[in-house]
Chains A and B, each alone.
Chain A
């Protein structure tokens, strides 16, 4: 069937000139439009900007280099994405109940967020009681982890543990697996946020050990997992912290790729095979409400990573070239004002991530600007994913935005900007050097201030904050979710009793071996962490030992 053609349409050249004239007349004087990464956005894109002659070189087919269209041949039409909601509150018993509930609602993987006391490397008996369990689950030793995952098949369900250096939660999981008779070779999941640089630079939550010690531990962890837990992803390189701290989308992508390069270089220097460790690298990004820019960010990142993997480390296995990423919708874009509006924001952000080709998604709860997410808020976030996946037909076509003059132009421009920023880092001597000098922190801080200025001047509209304000309806405020103090008190007392009943000699000897491993270049420190976890050492004891030997993690602050 041929498409009907409008005989009255002007010839192409005339048409463009005509549009230019009419546009200029009607738009009047107006400010330039720039996206968050500073790239000028034009009112219209045509084949003059991008045409399909560049199809093979820059677009191609899904599952093939340059991977602009996605890393798998089937993309979301085959296996959509992993629905991975971050959860964590209260005691392991509370956590387990909520986890089983979310899995029943459609979540397909476990994500565990520990209490901030755990984040900072402390046990519950060395933390202020009023904070325990208010932002995550209080899990301090292997049996706590085992209780968190009671009734969960840890072979069939991928576990994402928010667990960087010294990776105690994974150590607890491995100890629990052994008790359950599960072979470590069948345990799957990710050490989320194992990227120590991102914590040094931004958000700092997990920055427990001084940077160079964390650097050694990270490579040990990758090596240990590659050998003993081969289906585990030990490396999660994080752009989310930096973007939440204020980095533009291009900066966040550039700095993340620069960190990944640094980590892979370290693995190569250790003598590891790129086609063993690279397939187990994953990425974790923020996805903001700057819709098209985010889509282009992910497409550009995929192309760059595939090139770097082949050019820099001569990786041959296509699995090493694939830029696998998890995305979390941006909490910074959410507002306290008219909080239900955040459901719309999360939906738009999630769509950008999906069209950008993500592998795994966390949608924020609408109430995150008011409190730690409530169960009600988390249910809506899960439903949002179900709607996007199964009602909206977003997954019918692979890379549905591919070939758009705008998207392809923007992808090229974002790629150029990301490469420019990566060069700044490379010239500083790599990411460790750049962050130890504060170069990256300074750029992120400047971007955060610039964005805030744009909100203050009204240049950037935020509905309910600087425009369309309404009198708030107090009924929209969510009910406060806090752990039951009596349950937490019982959890604390049980923990103290458990500690007292352990074989103290075994604990002492495991911690001594752990301390010793830090002074032996040939020893694997993470291996010693796993042995300590199996011997009944607690999170706080393991962290304290490593802090003593390797130094406390002070972030470098650039204000």
Chain B
């Protein structure tokens, strides 16, 4: 089975600081993953649409200025669109109190400043078998 991960890197909300998302996107690409990179200020419906059309495994949301507060709404929208198998990871400036809320909303992992790129790649690889297994189960369900 091809387990080359397909990752959508995006920023939602109002923030435009994209150094982190760009560095992560280019590293994951160099690490052999298929990466879709979008400009900042994406709307939640656009992310859902892209994730569906591009059939991504993972969505990485970069947030440096409180835009992560919109992530629970993104999680709801993904579930409503039937994209339960897509894993969402969040990176950036996320206070501890907010991290708990994000994990409760279904986010797979939150990465904080100082995270090594290798750790992000390793996390995605660890998530992959679960994502693909869930997806196979869903596809086989009549």
| A and B bind | yes
Residues of A within 8 A of B (CB): 116-117, 119-120, 127-128, 130-131, 134-135, 199, 202-205, 207, 244-246, 332, 334-337, 368-372, 445, 448-449, 452, 456, 462, 464-466, 474, 477, 480, 554-555, 557, 559
Q: Measured between alpha carbons, how far is A124 from B58 in the docked complex, in Å?
A: 32
Closest to B66 in A: A134
A555 contacts which of B23, B27, B39 (Cβ < 8 Å)? B39
Query: Can you list 22 A-B pairs with a CB-CB distance of less than 8 A?
Result: A116-B67, A119-B14, A130-B69, A131-B13, A199-B16, A202-B19, A203-B16, A204-B17, A205-B15, A205-B16, A244-B19, A245-B18, A245-B19, A246-B19, A246-B23, A335-B113, A336-B114, A456-B116, A462-B114, A477-B95, A557-B22, A559-B37
Residues of chain B contacted by A559 (CB below 8 angstroms): 22, 25-26, 37
Closest to B116 in A: A456
Residues of chain B contacted by A464 (CB below 8 angstroms): 114
Closest to A129 in B: B69
Residues of chain A contacted by B25 (CB below 8 angstroms): 559
Assuming the A-B contacts A336-B114, A559-B37, are A369 and B93 also in contact, with contact meaning beta carbons closer than 8 angstroms in the complex? yes
Residues of chain B contacted by A452 (CB below 8 angstroms): 23, 27, 117
Q: How many Å from the CB of A198 to the closest CB on chain B?
A: 11
Assuming the A-B contacts A134-B66, A204-B40, A335-B114, are A449 and B26 also in contact, with contact meaning beta carbons closer than 8 angstroms in the complex? yes
> Are B22 and A448 neighbours in the complex by a CB distance under 8 Å?
yes
Residues of chain B contacted by A456 (CB below 8 angstroms): 116-118
Residues of chain B contacted by A335 (CB below 8 angstroms): 113-114
> Are B114 and A135 neighbours in the complex by a CB distance under 8 Å?
no
> Are A332 and B19 neighbours in the complex by a CB distance under 8 Å?
yes
Residues of chain A contacted by B17 (CB below 8 angstroms): 203-205, 244-245
Residues of chain A contacted by B53 (CB below 8 angstroms): none
A554 contacts which of B22, B39, B70, B73 (Cβ < 8 Å)? B39
The residues in B between 54 and 83 inclusive whose CB is less than 8 angstroms from any CB of A are 65-67, 69-70, 73
Residues of chain A contacted by B65 (CB below 8 angstroms): 116, 134-135, 372
Residues of chain B contacted by A477 (CB below 8 angstroms): 95-96
The residues in B between 1 and 50 inclusive whose CB is less than 8 angstroms from any CB of A are 13-19, 22-23, 25-27, 37, 39-41
Assuming the A-B contacts A464-B114, A555-B39, are A120 and B14 also in contact, with contact meaning beta carbons closer than 8 angstroms in the complex? yes
B23 contacts which of A116, A117, A448 (Cβ < 8 Å)? A448
> Are A134 and B26 neighbours in the complex by a CB distance under 8 Å?
no
Interface: B112 (CB within 8 A): yes
A448 contacts which of B19, B96, B98, B112 (Cβ < 8 Å)? B19
Residues of chain A contacted by B93 (CB below 8 angstroms): 336, 368-371
Q: How many Å from the CB of A181 to the closest CB on chain B?
A: 36
Closest to A246 in B: B19
Q: How many Å from the CB of B129 to the closest CB on chain A?
A: 26
Residues of chain A contacted by B114 (CB below 8 angstroms): 335-337, 369, 462, 464-465
